Amino acid sequence: MRWPVFGFVVVLVVAAGCSGFAGSSSQPTGTAVDGQSAVDVPHATVTVTVTAVVDGDTIQIAYENGTGDTIRLVGVDTPEVHTETDPAEFEGVPETDAGASCLRGAGTNASALAKQRLLGETVGLAFDPNLDRRGYYDRLLAYVVRDGTLFNYRLVETGHARVYDSEFTRAERFYTAEDDARSDRRGLWRCTNPSAVTRTAIADGGTITESPGGLAIAEIHSDAAGNDNENLNDEYLTLTNTGDEPLDLSGWTVSDAVGHRYTFASLTLVPNGSVTLYTGRGIDSGTERYWGRNGAVWNNDGDTVSVRNASGETVLRQSY
């Protein structure tokens, strides 16, 4: 079900673990970045600073001359955070209180991602030749380009947004990304079965997570200070036992989107207990574990954390 839309988004292609953003760079059509699908990135014609995030698909910016504007991201629609979202707009989400509640959480997560990736950053704006420059409420309709990636596309690819049905030139690629996200139940598409979803606050900008057995991702710190590859122990994630019983993690694994995997040995988390997994080297303890890698794992511009139990069953999957 693809509904008419009144707003638009920025496209993003996932970059490597230690990448940053630059407003006007571009990526050739059909290439791939860090093994994830890439889309053609339009040439940014205007450089601006993001001054506020209204929600996942709307931001406020300042031009180089100091004047301001409001941007509606081309091609995407994230769940609302300031008003109620109609579940009927999101294919497969039940039109129930549970469905609406789940989408509210997904909207909060989309806003958190936009704040984490865009707020305070210098980005490029690009415009779609098939669309007017301005839409409803006189908002500027634009793609947001940062470090040669398109944030609009990233929202759809990670399940933080659905595609707004309009005549924008990249619609086909966006719909393909949406279909994949829905099939994998990423992000908001987990709301197709809201009873299986529990809300977990992610300190570094995250999404709703499924946490059977009381396990939750409490923090994802993907962007180490300086060069990620030279500061590996400032790249880490923290898991917390939110249940009422001890949780044996022995033999459980943590992996990223491209299959880098760490296996826990002899570890039990007490209720409310946490363990932090650092990418670099150190001495393991009951609260700290070290992957021992020689390079960064977690992409600064988005990745997926998967946690599997000792039987290989996925118990947590978190995109950020």
22 in Cβ contact with 233 (< 8 Å)? no
3-state secondary structure of 102: helix
Side chain identity, residue 319: S
- The closest of 256, 231, 240, 234 to 318, measured between CA atoms, is 256
Per-residue exposure over 8-47, b if at least 16 CB sit within 10 Å of its own CB, e if not:
bbbbbbbbebbbebbbeebbeeeeebbebbbbbbbebebb
- The residue with tokens 């634009």 is 142
Q: Which residues are marked as active site?
A: 72, 80, 139
What radius of gyration do the chain's Cα atoms show? 19
Q: CA 50, 55, 57, 59: dihedral to nearest 10 degrees?
A: -20
Q: Is 228 exposed, middle or buried (0-12, 13-18, 19+ CB in 10 A)?
A: buried
Outline where DSSP puts E strands in 242-282: 247-248, 253-255, 261-263, 268-269, 274-278
Measured CA to CA, the distance from residue 121 to residue 60 in angstroms comes to 12
